[in-house]
Amino acid sequence: MARLITQIDADRVRENAARIRGELDDAARGGGRDPSGLALLAAVKYVPAEELGALAEAGLTLLGENRAQDLEAKATGPHGASFRWHFIGQLQSRKVRQVLAHAELVHSVASDSVLEQLGRHGTEATQVLVQVNVAGEEGKAGVAPADLGAFIARCPVTVSGLSAMPPFTEDPESSRPHFARLRELAAEHGLAQLSMGTSQDYRVAVEEGATLVRVGSALYA
């Protein structure tokens, strides 16, 4: 189980970020894409608010938080204004208003109850990604691919793309078919943004079309 990171070395994070960014750019160019359309998002679920200053010092600008209460605390804390914030955790309907107050993009819209709350609290500027259960895993959040078109049509705010978290695996290549499927679904529905890939498989994700890549442990190691 991952643990809270109690101390962050800004220089180490800067070095890791530069290396990862280089790998992402190479993967994008290898696929015939412009790397400028690819964003590196630092996942900060296990980074305490008092350590965020080190991330700013390291040059990171886009952060993703998993918990609504932590998003609020970090975004409104002493270092919060240094970053753009995304919400990347499972979104509960009762937390929609709280999340929208701080996140410029929500990666995890996946239920009709959340759509209802987006209708109440969203604005013309609200942007979301629909989370897709590309592997058809039992008990996992996400819209089934067959239901995606109807779900997008019911969404009261702008859907700018899709997101997915394939089954965990030690082999990045095992995630490739799931990433490829998400890319196909995005193309079918005319969506440009693809949030996929983590520290374990970010290069494969970019090769398959990711535009937003969530990286946590690989940045802080």
Domain boundaries, the chain: 10-220
Q: Where are the beta strands (DSSP E) in 66-192?
A: 84-87, 105-109, 127-131, 158-163
Question: Of 194, 213, 221, which is closest to residue 42 (Cα–Cα)?
Answer: 213
Enter the DSSP assignment of 83: S
May I ask the CATH class of domain 10-220?
alpha beta
- pLDDT tens-digit series, residues 95-132: 999 999 999 999 999 999 999 999 999 999 999 999 99
Q: How many residues in total does the chain contain?
A: 221
Enter the DSSP assignment of 104: S
Contact 40, 20 (CB under 8 A): yes
- pLDDT tens-digit series, residues 131-190: 999 999 998 999 999 999 999 999 999 999 999 999 988 899 999 999 999 999 999 999
Give phi and psi for 160, each to the nearest 5: -100, -10
Look at residue 2 in the predicted model and tell me its pLDDT. Answer: 63
Q: Which long-range contacts (CB under 8 A, 24 or more apart) does 186-194 make?
A: 186/161, 186/162, 189/148, 189/149, 189/152, 189/162, 191/159, 191/160, 191/161, 191/162, 192/160, 192/161, 193/129, 193/160, 193/161, 193/162, 194/161, 194/162, 194/163
Task: Quote the mean pLDDT of the chain.
Answer: 96
Region of 197 (left: φ > 0; alpha: ψ -120 to 50; beta: rest) is left
Look at residue 1 in the predicted model and tell me its pLDDT. Answer: 47
d(CA 123, CA 100): 9
d(CA 109, CA 129): 6
Q: Residue 7's pLDDT band (boundaries 50, 70, 90)? A: confident
Look at residue 6 in the predicted model and tell me its pLDDT. Answer: 76
∠ CA 95-133-64, rounded to 5°: 45
